[in-house]
Amino acid sequence: MKSMGEAQKNMKRQFDKKRRNSQGLKVRDNIWLENKNIYLNRLSKKLDQKRYRPFRILKNISLGVFQLELLEEWAIHNVFNKDLLTRCNEPQFKNQHMEPTPPPTIINEEEKYEVEKVRKYRK
């Protein structure tokens, strides 16, 4: 029995070497959410954003699994693996700061955007 316990401890130690929070994510950190496996009503996945706006981590569920504070309009589960999260670095200079793009308005299950200005057009 003693050797069985030692073997389990050894296996756990070897397993835990690979299961780390490599980015050092913790509760209340801001992170970017990768658009992998997230299907929103976009016309083209190719033209969609690579990462979605900075979200806040609400809870650390287990090693490498986090619960996020998502937008209310998003009807998806709010628990994600660490591989889909990227740390949000605060801008060092004023000109690096960008406002997150506002989510589109959903009318009749289709996204609608309000155009501010038309810059060029063809006849």
Beta bridge partners of 86: 32
Stretch (H or E) spanning 94: none
C-beta of residue 120 within 8 angstroms of C-beta of residue 63: no
C-beta of residue 31 within 8 angstroms of C-beta of residue 25: yes
CA angle at residue 103 from 97 to 105, to 5 degrees? 150
Domain ranges of the chain: 28-92
Write the burial class of residue 118 (CB in 10 Å: 0-12 exposed, 13-18 middle, 19+ buried): exposed
**Greatest Cα pair distance in the chain:** 84
Beta bridge partners of 30: 56
Q: Which amino acid is at 120?
A: K
Q: What is the mean pLDDT of each run of 10 residues along the chain (123 residues)?
A: 87 78 77 80 72 85 85 81 83 74 65 72 71
The CATH number of domain 28-92, selected from 2.30.30, 3.30.450, 3.40.50, 1.10.3470: 2.30.30
pLDDT score recorded for residue 7: 92
pTM: 0.59
C-beta of residue 54 within 8 angstroms of C-beta of residue 71: no
